[in-house]
Structure 1
């Protein structure tokens, strides 16, 4: 299916210079090494200055079981300062960091700082993005990998940014004629909420894990919910609520040149909507599956078709999860949210099809294949602009 010109990824932004022989040698040697199943240095990045910081740490710890090569864990503290953490460190001990990391842009490596000295460079073959929320899932880690010049298990800068912003996601999905619920956008400082119809679900635009999300049936509840949501973001989505619905989840990644979709799951809750506690404080902390009866086959097929189309049209890579709302009364399906870094890498939706290390190997292969292909793109343009004698340092004159 042809990508929409509006949302296809800007691949050339993040790629290495074609004429750079060092870069091409790196890509080819690592691709060859990957194909021969030699050990690689795989780096997970988690944490960060985000309300979803703690969930990100859990995802990184669970990701250890997927990557059997030489694994390095880099933890971003709540001020985004990077530290190296051992693979045996428990989630509650990530904050007890001691080894400060310095990234070496353009050199595919990092160093550990010891006082005023830097250790030997540690080569990076692949980065796995385990960050949730701002300063990670929003394209920040993708930008870091672009500067480092390394493959990423995860989506690029632009598709990540679209998925992170719920309002932007709605705009793009509507442009692609995909089903979304009616909604109103409210910005901080706005005092007129007359366009918000009740009941409504209030959501901070750039936050996940159900933090700051509230179902409102009255104007009083709406005002209180907006006050809470504006503590997290200056832009809030108010989405029309459905009385009788099921939430459906489906994951996707690309392998062997084709997008594959997972089974469809329907998580449960005793609350009006799925809460932070439902997702992370009960069950398997992000690997949520349910005993709910499966949705009708026609709905399952539609969910998987939409998931594949979303993955393709928005140019995602790595593993993503798309959440849907199914209106039981009207028999209508709506795209709810897109998670470019799903909790636990969405392995709960794939564990019947892939072993843990097999799942990781598929994701790493996609990352390296994509990186090797994109490295052939030209990202340099030779010109005489900087050397021409114009009398004003090469600046354009009229």
Structure 2
């Protein structure tokens, strides 16, 4: 029997376009002999539209943005949305291909938990904590993971006394520093600052995308990343290094102008790899992750490693870092997708062992 997969993509997020590219890649990589694939497109306005059963590969993202599909509110927990066919046969698994808020942050995962449906990727806690950089770093600090210094602010605090916020950054962090929205990925809204004028502009930019921002100390280091997959027993890929041709690895460098080089495997020593592997697994377990993450590190010339963040739904096209890391580890793109589907089913089966009566 073919497994019935519901693909969730799009989303009410600044990373909507990234999600569409991810969905297109996954749809064209899945084995149609093994899976029935049902697309569910979430518009930028938050409308959920169920598309027809896919019969084969799709050429463009435009074909995945349905204008005449069946529109249903997820809050109604409508059976027709979360079942695969007219006979209301349940999906075997849901695959959320959502990046950023309203999808990668635990909201959709919570809905799927309430529906008691298996799904690919991280659960509610890991997704929400991994989305909020402040919460994530606080958990990493409690777990004893090495990090660069950071401070954070909410918008109302900054609006009440902006000068005090800038002075705190200068006293606790200094320059250079990086200003980021706390709850966003794909390097959206991030700025590098070397003086007060740039800091003021960066605060204004970041607060456009979130009510909370984080400011991190700049460090002279290489940017090295590992892919992690698994549930209770995570495994790590080879390491990869990002070498931006611009000042830092921003949104344009990632998705638009190609101003970056990915070196896989990274040219690091065995001891450095073992250090990063150990930190990646500790971070994975600290957040109680499942399915997949990409773990990002700073590696200095003297061999010190600092964890920057983990991404609980990393870029997932065949040309993104996470799939490329696993390709160089010996797991190609279609195999990786199937492995993640299996991990989602295994985690669901494990959770069914929990007793809810006494």
* Residues 1:57 and 2:20 are matched in the alignment: yes
- Structure whose CA Rg is larger: 1
Map of 1:16 onto structure 2: none
Q: Cα deviations across residues 343-380 of structure 1 (Å, max 9, x unaligned)?
A: 11721111131133322221111111111121121235
Q: Which has the higher helix share?
A: 2
**CA deviation map 1:325-349 (0-9, x unaligned):** 1223x53211111110111172111
- Look up the match of 1:167: 134
Partner of 1:229: 206
Are 2:90 and 1:100 equivalent residues in the alignment?
A: no
Q: Is the CA contact 2:104–2:127 (under 8 Å) kept in the aligned structure 1?
A: yes
Q: Check the 8 A contact 1:65/1:357 in 2, yes or no.
A: no
Aligned residue number for residue 158 of structure 1:
125
In 1, the alpha carbon distance for the partners of 2:192 and 2:150 equals 13
Write the distance in 2 (CA, Å) between the matches of 1:249 and 1:370. 25
1:80 and 2:52 equivalent? no
Q: Distance in 1 between matches of 2:357 and 2:17?
A: 40
Cα distance in 2 for partners of 1:108, 1:158 equals 27
* Unpaired stretches in structure 1, ≥5 consecutive residues: 1-37, 113-117, 382-398
User: Cα gap change, 1:129/1:284 in structure 2, threshold over 3 Å: closer, same or farther?
Assistant: farther
Instruction: For residues 10-53 of structure 1, give each alpha carbon's deviation from its aligned partner in whole angstroms, at most 9, with x where no partner exists.
Output: xxxxxxxxxxxxxxxxxxxxxxxxxxxx3110111111110011
| 1:177 counterpart residue number | 144
The alpha carbon displacement at 1:91 in A equals: 1.4
Alignment root-mean-square deviation, CA: 2.5
Q: Structure 1 residues 227-236 or 340-349, which shifts more?
A: 340-349
Which secondary structure state, in structure 1, belongs to the residue aligned with residue 98 of structure 2?
coil
CA distance in 1, matches of 2:285, 2:118: 19
Alignment partner for residue 316 of structure 2, among 335, 338, 344?
A: 344
Which secondary structure state, in structure 1, belongs to the residue aligned with residue 184 of structure 2?
A: coil
1:188 equivalent in alignment to 2:148: no
Which runs of no fewer than 5 residues in structure 2 stay unpaired?
A: none
Q: In structure 1, the residue corresponding to 2:291 is in which secondary structure?
A: coil
CA–CA distance in 2 between the matches of 1:292 and 1:351?
Answer: 11
Matches of 1:304 and 1:292, distance apart in 2: 14
* In structure 1, distance between residues paired with 2:18 and 2:349: 31
Q: How many residues align?
A: 334
Distance 1:366 1:80, change over 3 A: same
2:195 is aligned to 218
Task: Indicate the residue corresponding to 2:337 in structure 1.
Answer: 360
Q: State the shift of 1:259 in Å.
A: 1.4
Aligned pairs for 1:296-375 (under 5 A) are 296-328=269-301, 330-344=302-316, 346-352=322-328, 353-375=330-352
What residue in structure 2 maps to residue 11 of structure 1?
Answer: none
**CA contact 1:109–1:148 (8 Å) conserved in 2:** no
Deviation at 1:231, TM superposition (A): 0.6
Question: Which residue does 1:121 correspond to in 2?
Answer: 88
Show the counterpart of 1:9.
Answer: none
Which range is displaced more, 191-200 or 356-365? 356-365
Please state how far the C-alpha of 1:93 moved relative to its aligned partner: 4.1
Indicate if the aligned counterparts of 1:106 and 1:148 stay in contact, CA closer than 8 A: no
Report the CA distance between 1:280 and its aligned residue. 1.4
Relative contact order (alpha carbons < 8 A, sep ≥ 6): 1 or 2 greater?
A: 1
TM-score by length of 2: 0.86
| CA displacement at 1:130 relative to structure 2 | 0.8
SS of the residue 1:351 aligns to: helix
